[in-house]
Amino acid sequence: MRRPDGTALANVPVILISADDSWFTTFHADQDGHFRFGNLKPGAYVVGINLPGAAPWEVAVGGGVPPPPASLYYGGAADRSSAVAVKLGDDEKRDNLDFIVP
């Protein structure tokens, strides 16, 4: 994650949601604004972040709990329905998901 001037945005909350809404997970980007999800099955995923200054996520644990809304989704969307889904095939890795934070 980067600001428009290219500097890293550290420790931003990140959410990964399966496109079918069957599960989600959250964590924080590192000090360089990087994030990594491992051991993902082939499929489609939505990635979002919670921008600095946004209300913190209230994340509950348990089946059927909906994911918290992100303030910015991959592809520059402010709402999940307009987010770009990231599709992964067998043994595919992606290292090109960039967020430029306004």
Single pTM value for the model: 0.88
| Domain assignments of the chain as residue spans, ordered by start | 1-93
pLDDT given for residue 16 in this prediction = 93
pLDDT per residue as tens digits for the range 26-83: 989 999 999 988 888 999 999 999 998 999 988 766 667 788 999 999 999 999 999 9
pLDDT given for residue 62 in this prediction = 60
pLDDT given for residue 95 in this prediction = 81
CATH 2.60.40 fits 1-93, yes or no: yes
User: What average pLDDT score do residues 82-98 get?
Assistant: 88
pLDDT given for residue 8 in this prediction = 92
- DSSP collapsed to 3 states, the chain: CECCCCCECCCCEEEEEECCCCCEEEEECCCCCCCCCCCCCCEEEEEEECCCCCCCCCCCCCCCCCCCCCCEECCCECCHHHCCCEEECCCCCCCCCCCECC
User: What average pLDDT score do residues 10-26 get?
Assistant: 91
Band of pLDDT at residue 88, cut at 50, 70 and 90: very high
